[in-house]
Amino acid sequence: MPSASPLIVTLDGPAGVGKSSVAARLAGELGLAFLDTGAMFRAAAFTLGEGAWDWTQGILQQKLGDFEFTLRGSGRATELLLNGQPLPEAIRSEQTGQWASQLAVVPSVRAYMKMAQIFLGQTTPLVAEGRDMGSVVFPGAQFKFFLDADPEERARRRCRQLEAQGQSADFAAILAGICKRDDQDRNRSIAPMKPAEGALVVDTTHINEDETLALVLGVVRGH
C-alpha cells in the first residue's frame, strides 16, 4: 500500500495581501514547516540580477542547476536556505519583488521552481504560500486557500509594515507597484495567479490578520 503523502496546506494570493504572516502563523499552529515560494523567486532574481529574464532558456537552466533550496525547522521559525545559506534581507525590497515577478514568467524558471517545490513537499508537511501552490504545484493539497484584498488596502498594509520597520513609505508608488505586479502575475501564460479549483477564497479587505488566521485554522481543524 502506498504511504500517505505529507499534509500540504496551500495559501495563494496577490502581493501585499499578508499571506506570509498568515502562512507562518498557521504553520506554527499546525506544527508544519512554512514554504515561502515568493522568497524562492526573489532569491533567484536577486542572485541572478537584473535582466536575467532575457537570458536564453539554456543559460537559465544551467544557472538554476547550481541552486538547491532546503528547509530547516518548522512553524514561524522555519528557515529557507539556498545552497545551505539563509536568504539575505535584501530580497525583500520592492525592486527585487518586481524582478522576481518578471523572472517568474520565464518557462525554465517556473519549471525549476515547480520541481524544487514538489521535492520539498514530498518530504516535509507544509504550509506552502505563493501564487500557484494550489493550482499547479500541489493540486492534490488537502486544504487550499486564496487570500485576496483590494489593492488600496494591500498598499496601506505594506506602508504600515515599512513604517513599522522605520522605513519611509510612498503610498502612490507602492500602490502602482502592487497593481503592476498583479497584472504581471495574473496575466502570464504559465501558472497565472488565480484561485485553485476547490480553494476557499477569503477576502481579507475588512478583516485583520488574527481574524484571517482564525478562519483558515477553523477550516483546517474542521470547525
**DSSP secondary structure of 121-173:** HHHS-EEEEESSIIIII-TT-SEEEEEE--HHHHHHHHHHHHHHTT----HHH
What is the rounded distance in angstroms from the CA atom of residue 212 to the CA atom of residue 222? 15
Those residues whose C-beta lies under 8 Å from the C-beta of residue 21, and which sit 6 or more positions away, are 209
| Shorter beta-carbon distance to ligand DC: residue 37 or 74 | 37
Indicate which single residue of 41, 46, 145, 146 sits in contact with ligand DC (rule: CB under 6 A).
Answer: 41
| Shorter beta-carbon distance to ligand DC: residue 97 or 195 | 97
Residue 76 CB, shortest distance to ligand DC, in Å, is: 17
The end-to-end CA distance of the chain, in Å, is 31
Return phi, psi of residue 61, to 5°.
-60, -45
| Shorter beta-carbon distance to ligand DC: residue 6 or 192 | 192
Rule CB under 6 A: which of 103-132 touch ligand DC? 104, 130-132
The three three-digit cell numbers of residue 165, written as one number = 520597520
Indicate which single residue of 25, 42, 154, 158 sits in contact with ligand DC (rule: CB under 6 A).
Answer: 42
Residue 200 CB, shortest distance to ligand DC, in Å, is: 18
* Binding of residue 145 to ligand DC (CB under 6 A): no
Residue 43 CB, shortest distance to ligand DC, in Å, is: 10
Helix (H/G/I), strand (E/B), else coil: 110: helix
What is the rounded distance in angstroms from the CA atom of residue 198 to the CA atom of residue 110? 23
**DSSP secondary structure of 22-47:** HHHHHHHHHT-EEEEHHHHHHHHHHH
Indicate which single residue of 185, 202, 213, 216 sits in contact with ligand DC (rule: CB under 6 A).
Answer: 185
Those residues whose C-beta lies under 8 Å from the C-beta of residue 169, and which sit 6 or more positions away, are 158, 159, 160, 162, 163
* Binding of residue 38 to ligand DC (CB under 6 A): yes
| Shorter beta-carbon distance to ligand DC: residue 42 or 157 | 42
Residue 212 CB, shortest distance to ligand DC, in Å, is: 16
Residue 45 CB, shortest distance to ligand DC, in Å, is: 8
* Binding of residue 100 to ligand DC (CB under 6 A): yes
Residue closest to 133 by CA, chosen among 146, 124, 123: 146
| Shorter beta-carbon distance to ligand DC: residue 130 or 151 | 130
Q: Could you list the residues that contact ligand DC (CB under 6 A)?
A: 15, 37-38, 41-42, 97, 100-101, 104, 130-133, 181, 185
